[in-house]
Amino acid sequence: MKSFVCLLSELLAVASVVSATTIPKAHKARAAVVEDLDARAPTPAGPYPPVITSCVNPMQAAVTLDDGPYDYLQEISDYFTWAGGKATFFFNGNNWRCIYTQPSQDLVKYAYQNGHQIASHTWAHLNLTQLTYDEIHSEMRRVEQALQRIIGVTPAIMRPPFGAYNDLVRRVARERGQSVVTWDFDSGDSTGATVDQSKQRYEDALGKHPSNLLALNHETKQPTAHQIIPWVVKLLKYRGYQLVTVAQCLNVEPYQKITAPQTPSPSWQC
Ligand SMILES: [Zn+2]
């Protein structure tokens, strides 16, 4: 037993020597990448496509719904369908509810089959700016995998949770073939605005007669589903805006790839 302990401590000693020689190299390589990114950050064009905050086409409104799939998706989808418009759903994998539950899978399919755009809001709604390169990849990969499994699409557009990004997030998004899209209008529904306040925000924004609108809302909020969306869908139409997806208002493809959905399996877990 004693000799085993000795052997173990020897092995640990060797391991620590190996670590001591390898870890600094890894850190050095990592630091080099970070320095490289920092050096490029001040250049607005930079090596990365700019983060998109607005639509490009005139008289189009892209209404976006974050944080689902959740209970109110079908109602929201139906309002847009009734109005002859489309919305964009930025889905999480495991935020308010696991995307692999049967109700969630059905809602993802419902949104997709009704012609709305399906985009990535990453897996667990973490602040990506606090994560490592590998962790950001993982947060993005897991929700992409879920969407590939459930509806067969690989999204071309992602929105970082909280709209929080840095150069590392932009780098990972580019490596995954995705554009980073935030918004130019926030209904305030996730930050404490009442229904009246959200409506007032919309009225104030539209009162400036913007050429177009890229609006942030949350499908997980009941007042948004029951009161704001029905109201704003009518208002936007009345003001002459076309209700389109984010991809449509940017003239880009919504998906990198479309394949056949997969057969559910027990490995589909959150
Ligand atoms: Zn969110």
Residues with CB under 5 A from ligand 1 (ion): 66-67, 161
81 phi and psi angles, rounded to 5 deg: -60, -45
Quote the pLDDT of residue 48.
Answer: 82
pLDDT beneath 50, residues of the chain: 1-45
d(CA 6, CA 160): 50
Whether the ω angle into residue 103 lies within 30 degrees of 0, i.e. cis, is no
Quote the pLDDT of residue 46.
Answer: 56
Give CA separation, 209 vs 115, 187, 213, 246, in Å.
28, 17, 10, 19
Q: Ligand 1 centroid to 74 CA: how many Å?
A: 19
CA atoms within 13 A on the CB side of 28: 6
With a pLDDT cut of 70, the percent of the chain lying above it is 83
Q: Which residues of 63-97 are buried (b: 16+ CB within 10 A; e: fewer)?
A: bbbbbbbbebbeebbebbeeeebbbbbbbbbbbeb
Quote the pLDDT of residue 49.
Answer: 84
Q: Ligand 1 centroid to 46 CA: how many Å?
A: 26
Are residues 167 and 48 in contact, defined by beta-carbon separation less than 8 angstroms?
yes
111 phi and psi angles, rounded to 5 deg: -65, -45
Q: Ligand 1 centroid to 37 CA: how many Å?
A: 26
Strands (E), 12-73: 60-66
Q: Ligand 1 centroid to 161 CA: how many Å?
A: 5
Q: Ligand 1 centroid to 231 CA: how many Å?
A: 22
SS3 labels along 112-180: HHCCCEEEECCCCCCCHHHCCHHHHHHHHHHHHHHHHHHCCEEECEECCHHHCCCHHHHHHHHHCCCEE
Which CATH code is given to the segment(s) 60-254? 3.20.20.370
Q: Ligand 1 centroid to 104 CA: how many Å?
A: 17
Delimit the domains of the chain by residue range: 60-254
